[in-house]
C-alpha cells in the first residue's frame, strides 16, 4: 500500500536552478498525480513555505526538503534532506554557508570562459537566475545554449562545465558530516541523492555509504530521473543490504529540459522500505 503512494521527493524550482516557481511546480506535480511531494532546491529552503502552502491548497501532502552540495573524496555528492523543521537555525546557517561561495565561483567560471572566447557569461547566466544567492552551472548552461554555443544543456556540461573543461572551477562544498548533522538535528532524514551519477570507484562508493551511515544518514535514492533501470535494481539491492530507506524523485527542473516529469517514475521495488514510512510523523497534511 505505502509503496504505491505516488511520492516525488526530489525536484527544483526557480529558488535554485529550476525554471518554474514553487507554486507552478506544485501544480504540475498535482496534475501528474503526485500524492506526497517535496521541493528540494539546491542549498536552499527559501521556497519551503510557498511550496507547502501551494501543496496544501491542492490537497497534496508535503515533506520539507533540500538538496545539499557536499564534497566527498574530492567529488561533489548531493545529500537530500527530507522532513526537517524548516525553521531550524543551524540548518539555515549551514545552507547559507554552503551557498555563500557560489557568486565568487560564478565569477571565476565566467573569467575562465572569457579566456576561451565566451564573453559576458556572468551577466548572461544572471538573466536566468531566480534567486541571486543561488547562481549555478545550470544558469550558465542556459545562457550558453541561448547564444548558440551548444544545442542542449547536456552538451554545455560536456564541453565546458565539467572537470577538465574550460569553464569548470573546483569548489569546496559542505562536509558530509555537517550536511547529515544539519538535516538530522532538525528532525529530518538524510538521503544520498542519485548515487549512480557520481564518478566514484567501487571502493569510494563503499566508503561514501559506510561513512554516511556511520554519520547518521538513513536513506538512498533508488528510483530517480538520474538512474537507469539497472541502477534502480542495483541501489534497491544496496538499500536492502545496508538497511537504508529508499527514496523516489524525478529531479525535475524544467518542462523542456528534464526528461523525467514530476510523478511519472515507476514505483519503488517491493523489497525496499520507502523513506516516507519512517517520515510519517513529519508529513504535513492539508
Q: Which residues bind ligand AMP (CB under 6 A)?
A: 17, 42, 69, 136-138, 153-154, 157, 253
- Which of 69, 247 has the CB closer to ligand AMP? 69
Q: Could you give the C-alpha distances from 23 to 12, 50, 56, 78, in angstroms and in order? A: 11, 7, 11, 24
Q: Give me the least distance between CB of 189 and ligand AMP, in Å please.
A: 20
Query: Within a 10 A sphere around the Cβ of 204, how many other Cβ atoms?
Result: 16
Q: Give me the least distance between CB of 126 and ligand AMP, in Å please.
A: 14
Q: What residue has cell string 505505502?
A: 2
If contact means CB under 5 to 8 A according to the sort of partner, which of Mn ion, ligand AMP, none does residue 157 touch?
A: ligand AMP
Report the distance separating Cα 66 and Cα 41, nearest Å: 5
Q: Give me the least distance between CB of 79 and ligand AMP, in Å please.
A: 13
Taking CB positions, which residue lies at the least distance from ligand AMP? 136
Binding mask 48-77 for Mn ion (x = CB under 5 A): -------------------x----------
CA 199, chain centre distance (Å):
17
State which of residues 8, 17, 221, 231 lies at the interface with Mn ion (CB under 5 A).
Answer: 17
- Which of 27, 79 has the CB closer to Mn ion? 79
Report the distance separating Cα 252 and Cα 226, nearest Å: 10
3-state secondary structure at position 222: strand
Q: What residue has cell string 560536456?
A: 158
- Lookup: cell for 56: 496544501
If contact means CB under 5 to 8 A according to the sort of partner, which of Mn ion, ligand AMP, none does residue 14 touch?
A: none
- Lookup: cell for 213: 551511515
- Which of 61, 260 has the CB closer to ligand AMP? 260
Amino acid at each position: 500500500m505505502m509503496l504505491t503512494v505516488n511520492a516525488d521527493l526530489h525536484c527544483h524550482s526557480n529558488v535554485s536552478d529550476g525554471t518554474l516557481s514553487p507554486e507552478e511546480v506544485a501544480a504540475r506535480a498535482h496534475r501528474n498525480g503526485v500524492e506526497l511531494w517535496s521541493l528540494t532546491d539546491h542549498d536552499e529552503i527559501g521556497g519551503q513555505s510557498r511550496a507547502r502552502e501551494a501543496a496544501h491548497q491542492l490537497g497534496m501532502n508535503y515533506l520539507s526538503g533540500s538538496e545539499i552540495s557536499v564534497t566527498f573524496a574530492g567529488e561533489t555528492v548531493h545529500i537530500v534532506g527530507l522532513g526537517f523543521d524548516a525553521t531550524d537555525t543551524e540548518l539555515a546557517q549551514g545552507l547559507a554557508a554552503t551557498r555563500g561561495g557560489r557568486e565568487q565561483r560564478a565569477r571565476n567560471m565566467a573569467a575562465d570562459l572569457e579566456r576561451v572566447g565566451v564573453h559576458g557569461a556572468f551577466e548572461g547566466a544572471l538573466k536566468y537566475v531566480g534567486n541571486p544567492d543561488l547562481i549555478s552551472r545550470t544558469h550558465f548552461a542556459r545562457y550558453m545554449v541561448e547564444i548558440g554555443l551548444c544545442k542542449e544543456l547536456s552538451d554545455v556540461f560536456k564541453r565546458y562545465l565539467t572537470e577538465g573543461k574550460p569553464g569548470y572551477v573546483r569548489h569546496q562544498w559542505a562536509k558530509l558530516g555537517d550536511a547529515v548533522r544539519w538535516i538530522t538535528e532538525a528532525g529530518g532524514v538524510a538521503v544520498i541523492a542519485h548515487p549512480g551519477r557520481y564518478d566514484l570507484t567501487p571502493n569510494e562508493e563503499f566508503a561514501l555509504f559506510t561513512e554516511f551511515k556511520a554519520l547518521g544518514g538513513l536513506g538512498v535514492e533508488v528510483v530517480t530521473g538520474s538512474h537507469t533501470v539497472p541502477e534502480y535494481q542495483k541501489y534497491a539491492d544496496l538499500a536492502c543490504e545496508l538497511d537504508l530507506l529508499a527514496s523516489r524523485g524525478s529531479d525535475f527542473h524544467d518542462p523542456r529540459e528534464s526528461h523525467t516529469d514530476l510523478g511519472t517514475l515507476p514505483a519503488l521495488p517491493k523489497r525496499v522500505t520507502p523513506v516516507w514510512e519512517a517520515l510519517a510523523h513529519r508529513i504535513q497534511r492539508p
